[in-house]
Structures are given as C-alpha cells and as structure tokens.
C-alpha cells in the first residue's frame, strides 16, 4: 500500500476514467438541455417513434454548436404541468423535512441517552422497518389510509415521511457518540431537560442533522412508489413521477425539466458535500457495530 510508483499512477487513471463514466449521463443531460430544441428532437426523438420507417438511429451528441436557454424558458414560462410537478415535489418534501427533523432529533435523543421500558423492542422495530422495502411498508399504510379515507390526500404521503424510522435511527447513531459528562454536569447545574437538549446536545449533532436533511431530501425528492400508490390524481404527482410522461412527448423539454429537477439537489450537494461525506462516514458504520443493543 505504500509503494508509490506505477500502481499509483494506474489507479489514478482508473479512478479518473470511472469518474468520467459516472458523470457522463449527467453531462449528456445538461448538453441536451442547452441545445437547439429542433436539433435535439430531430436526433433523439427517433427512439420514441413507433413507425420509424426511415430506420435511422439516434447518435451520440456530446457537443452542441449553439447554446440556448430556450428550453428552460419554455419550461419556466409555459409548461404549467411541469411547474406544478415541481411545486408538488416541494409541497411534499418541505413538511416532511421540517417535522421529520423534529421527530428525528427528539426520538434519537430519547433512544441514545435515556432508558425506558420497551426501548429495546422499539429500537429493534425501528431497525426492522428501516430495512423493509418501501412497498412492504406501503401496503399496510395503504390499507390503513384506505380505511380512514386518507388516500388521495397529500398527508398520506407526508405523514409516513415525517415518522420515518430511518431519521430517528440516523440521529440515534450520532447522539450515542456525544459524551454523557457535559449533559450530566449541565443537569447538576440546574439546566432544564429542554435546555440541555437545545444548548448542549443539538449543537453537537450538527453534522448528523445535515446528513439527515440531505439523505431524506434525496429519498423524498426522488420518490415514486408513494405518490403512485397513495395519491389519486396526476395533478398531485411530483415531477419525479411526471417526468416519465413528459419524456415521451417533447424531449428538449424533458431534458430541461430533468436538469431543473436535479438542480436543487446538485446545488445542495455542492454546498455541503463535505458535511455529507463526514456524516455518512462518521455514523453509518456504527449502526452495525452493536446492533440494537446499547
């Protein structure tokens, strides 16, 4: 491992190649979105043409002769359904993040720093639900919401998101690493429990909360299963579901809206990628270290 030389160079080249391959689709996406609309459609829309008599194939476009923001303008100014999809995404994600963070930090704190009856059982149940595929938890929730007439309401998507067990578990992992001594001494000095939580525990949990926000955002900005099953009308679907129908009709628009949809995530990623890396690498492996036992 400590022999610099040919192996070091080779591995660097391999890494660069892998990175290029990984970003390739994203680059194609961006290029497609800034090309002339006609140009894109003439080329790429061949793939959706059911009666492709000319028997032509799409070709790879990695460059574009003219740069244009026409497609972005069309999306932003004219395409109401796409804007609605965008708005629907925000409408679902923001409450999930806001309330979910509260649930995650309080729950995580309780599990990490207190002992109470049934804690181990709940912790085990939380891990279990976290590992279940979305569909498996969706079925009981669907049956339940169907009985109480909540199918078709946005709350059917938002509520399970707020109470996702993943958040609690993630924060729990972070809080376990916070030393007990300052908490105890603050208690001896007469700080109330809420004050200890607010001024001592939460500040130390910053990167945990960032990791929570980022990972939850990734998951729910991208959700497909939940809206499909729990919402009735397409008018409520976020763009993550709607893009599929957009794709078929106008490719240029699809490119632009696809880029627009990943833009918020991308910006956030650039802003806090170091925190995210720290968050992932600090806490996640600990999940397995002692399992549900504390």
CA nearest to 110, candidates 193, 213, 208: 193
When binding is defined by CB under 8 A, the residue of 94, 195, 206, 249 that contacts other proteins is 195
Which three-class secondary structure state does DSSP give residue 9? Answer: helix
83 binds other proteins (CB under 8 A): no
Residues 6+ apart with CB under 8 A from 48: 247, 248, 251
109 binds other proteins (CB under 8 A): yes
When binding is defined by CB under 8 A, the residue of 51, 53, 77, 133 that contacts other proteins is 133
Q: CA quadruple 254, 255, 260, 263: dihedral positive or negative?
A: positive
53 binds other proteins (CB under 8 A): no
When binding is defined by CB under 8 A, the residue of 35, 44, 79, 173 that contacts other proteins is 44
Q: Can you tell me which residue has the tokens 């595929």?
A: 133
Contact letters for other proteins, residues 54-73 (x by CB under 8 A): --xxxxx-------------
51 binds other proteins (CB under 8 A): no
CA nearest to 217, candidates 133, 98, 127, 108: 98
Question: Which tokens sit at 246?
Answer: 């957009």
When binding is defined by CB under 8 A, the residue of 68, 134, 153, 204 that contacts other proteins is 134
CA nearest to 256, candidates 99, 31, 95: 31
Total of chain residues touching other proteins, rule CB under 8 A: 122
Taking contact as CB under 8 A, which single stretch among the options 65-73, 75-83, 90-98, 240-248 is the one that binds other proteins? 240-248
When binding is defined by CB under 8 A, the residue of 36, 187, 234, 275 that contacts other proteins is 187
- CA distances to 22, 87, 180, 211 from 204, in Å: 34, 34, 12, 13
Q: Closer CB to other proteins, residue 11 or residue 98?
A: 11
179 binds other proteins (CB under 8 A): no
Would you call 200 exposed, middle or buried from its count of C-beta atoms within 10 A (0-12, 13-18, 19+)?
A: middle
When binding is defined by CB under 8 A, the residue of 11, 185, 232, 249 that contacts other proteins is 11
Query: 245-274: which residues touch other proteins (CB under 8 A)?
Result: 247, 251, 254-255, 258-259, 261-262, 265-266, 268-270, 273
């Amino acid at each position: 491992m400590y022999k610099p030389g040919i192996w070091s160079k080779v591995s660097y080249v391999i890494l660069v190649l892998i990175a290029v391959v990984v970003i390739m689709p994203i680059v194609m996406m961006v290029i497609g979105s800034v090309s002339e609309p006609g140009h894109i459609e003439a080329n790429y829309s061949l793939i959706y043409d059911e009666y492709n008599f000319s028997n032509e194939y799409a070709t790879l476009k990695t460059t574009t002769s003219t740069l244009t923001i026409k497609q972005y303008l069309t999306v932003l100014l004219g395409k109401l359904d796409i804007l609605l999809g965008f708005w629907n995404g925000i409408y679902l994600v923001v409450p999930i993040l806001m309330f979910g963070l509260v649930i995650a930090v309080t729950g995580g704190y309780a599990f990490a720093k207190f002992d109470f009856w049934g804690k181990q059982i709940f912790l085990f149940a939380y891990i279990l639900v976290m590992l279940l595929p979305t569909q498996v938890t969706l079925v009981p929730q669907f049956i339940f919401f169907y009985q109480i007439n909540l199918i078709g309401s946005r709350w059917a998507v938002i509520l399970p998101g707020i109470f996702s067990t993943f958040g609690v578990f993630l924060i729990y992992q972070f809080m376990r690493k916070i030393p007990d001594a300052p908490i105890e001494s603050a208690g001896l000095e007469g700080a109330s429990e809420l004050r200890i939580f607010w001024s001592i525990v939460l500040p130390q949990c910053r990167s945990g909360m960032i990791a929570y926000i980022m990972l939850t955002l990734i998951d729910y900005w991208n959700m497909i299963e939940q809206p499909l099953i729990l919402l009735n009308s397409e008018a409520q679907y976020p763009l993550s579901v709607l893009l599929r129908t957009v794709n078929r009709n106008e490719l240029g628009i699809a490119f632009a809206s696809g880029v627009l949809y990943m833009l918020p995530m991308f910006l956030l990623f650039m802003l806090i990628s170091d925190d995210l890396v720290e968050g992932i690498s600090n806490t996640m492996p600990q999940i397995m270290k002692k399992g549900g036992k504390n």
